[in-house]
Structure 1
Amino acid sequence: MQRLPVSEVWGIASRLERRLAGYGVTSVWDLATVDAAQIRKWFNVVMQRTALELRGVAVIGPEEDRTGKKDQLIVSRSFSEKVTTVSGIRQALSVYAQQAATRLVKHSQVARSLTAFAGTSHWHEQKHYPSARVRLPFPTADPVELTRAAHQLLPQIQDGTRYARAGLMLTDLLPADTHLSLELFRASHEDASIATLIDAVQKKTGGREVIGLGYGGLRPGPSWTMKRGMLTPRATTHWDELATVRA
């Protein structure tokens, strides 16, 4: 620790290293042995905790894994070209509802409330931002129910208005395995695991446009889909985009 510069500590970059040097803290050992109250006075409680951790005092707990514990889920995209018809917005909402259903199933969650929204560009003189909040008949991740709820926004959509984006926000999320709706209130298709089936087929065939429900199942994809021709290669997350090195 006496030989290592203080910049070897995670979170201490060159600018912070220079400030520490001004107080005579140049090595990891210096930071570990400095008075904890003084280091907090010079900097903040985060730096104080870092110094205490270097002494072996556990003051920084592990981050909580919030995978699948989100309080809300949002599916929204800006359109690559403006959508000016009710049918175009209907298609977008259908696609987003199916994507939302897939994500709920992935995290073993169900939703009790859905908000559908659309909007024009903030810089366009024609401004319209309709939204509709729908209380779902029962907590669900079923794409049929989510699509039906999303379409309740459509009466507010104006033909001819140039919408720049649309989306869905699901709230009141619950763990799927702790809340099962009574048989009386379940839709007949609820046990068919449609969202899981759609996701499996899309993964196997390599595209979201391969299969879908109603307006959400089209190929080629909608013209308003975000263009990704200039997308940076995802070398760390996708096997088919791994970086190739030649020597």
Structure 2
Amino acid sequence: MWPATRPEWREKLMRSLPVSEVWGIASRLERRLAGYGIESVWDLANADPAQIRKWFNVVVMRTALELRGVPAIGPEEDRTGKKDQLIVSRSFSEKVTTVNGIRQALSIYAQQAATRLVKHQQVAKQLQAFAGTSHWNEQKHYPSVAIRLPFPTADPVELTRAAHRLLPQIEDGIRYARAGILLTDLLPAGIHLPLEPFRQPHEDRGIAQIVADVQKKAGKDALGLGWGGVKPGPSWQMKRERLTLRATTHWSELVTVRA
């Protein structure tokens, strides 16, 4: 709803602003609106919503209602990780040539995937682990394995154990440029619980949530399980010394302007 400002002030401002100042009204749509005599924000706000929907679509109609002070566009649900699959994969900053190097990468990726599943209250029924050399490498090797998990889970221990099923296919000396895991058949957590004899003790202890909480407070390198927590950290991680500030998503990286 509009704040408690004087109506005449609001009208004057909206009459002075072209309709292109409204978020989502690009030049092409601006020209179409002008064809119906809608040139300012005020014109759009006072247009007949039913007619706007007929001429354009429901999105433009809702925008017109919002400009009038009628709530019509609710907050979008965060759908990150809420699809039918989840992938965690990175290209290495330097080639990994050992089985243990791939073991560490898969361990880290499995724990990251578990954190995402817990965040979105989901579990996975199937995991695929893979690795590969560069397409320009003379040694071409692209091992992969698909594992049907014993029960739908977000437990990092189970996911890591399944990801390590790829390791018998990894060969020392080959220069791997990439590895990752893909989780599919995602379900809402708590719907399909395994029978008591098949439940793992660490599944009920919320290990994934504990790891996520510690990493959130102390940093991603503060805690890890097994090979995912080996110190020092892996040398193959992506170089981020020149990473652009994430000013729109991280409070600590907001741009500071001094005048």
Query: TM-score normalised to the size of structure 1?
Result: 0.81
Contact 2:53 2:61 in 1 (8 A): no
Alpha carbons of structure 1 residues 82 and 51: separation in structure 2 relative to 1, 3 Å? closer
- Which amino acid letter does the alignment assign opposite residue 228 of structure 2? G
The aligned counterpart of 1:134 is 147
The aligned counterpart of 1:160 is 173
Alpha carbons of structure 1 residues 169 and 230: separation in structure 2 relative to 1, 3 Å? same
Q: Secondary structure at the match of 1:153?
A: helix
Alpha carbons of structure 1 residues 37 and 151: separation in structure 2 relative to 1, 3 Å? closer
Alpha carbons of structure 1 residues 55 and 194: separation in structure 2 relative to 1, 3 Å? closer
Contact 1:209 1:220 in 2 (8 A): no
Q: Secondary structure at the match of 1:177?
A: coil
The aligned counterpart of 1:122 is 135
Correspondence list, 1:1-247, <5 A:
4-18=17-31, 26-27=39-40, 29=43, 32=47, 39=55, 47-50=56-59, 52-53=61-62, 65=77, 66=79, 69-206=82-219, 208-247=220-259
- Aligned-residue RMSD, C-alpha: 3.0
- How many positions carry a matched residue from both structures? 238
Alpha carbons of structure 1 residues 30 and 198: separation in structure 2 relative to 1, 3 Å? closer
- Which amino acid letter does the alignment assign opposite residue 201 of structure 2? S
Contact 2:81 2:116 in 1 (8 A): no
Task: Give, in whole Å, the separation in 2 of the partners of 1:30 and 1:196.
Answer: 47
Contact 1:120 1:128 in 2 (8 A): yes
How much does 1:67 deviate?
A: 5.2
Q: Percent identity?
A: 70
Task: Give, in whole Å, the separation in 1 of the partners of 2:225 and 2:54.
Answer: 63
Deviates more, 1:5-14 or 1:218-227: 5-14
Query: TM-score normalised to the size of structure 2?
Result: 0.78
Task: Give, in whole Å, the separation in 2 of the partners of 1:127 and 1:200.
Answer: 39
Task: Give, in whole Å, the separation in 2 of the partners of 1:21 and 1:230.
Answer: 45
1:2-37 residue CA offsets vs partner (Å, 9 max, x unmatched): 765331343222355356657876445389479779
Q: Secondary structure at the match of 1:243?
A: coil
Task: Give, in whole Å, the separation in 1 of the partners of 2:63 and 2:214.
Answer: 50
- Segments of structure 1 that go 5 or more residues without pairing to the other structure are 40-46
1:157-205 residue CA offsets vs partner (Å, 9 max, x unmatched): 1222211111111111111122221111112322222112222222232
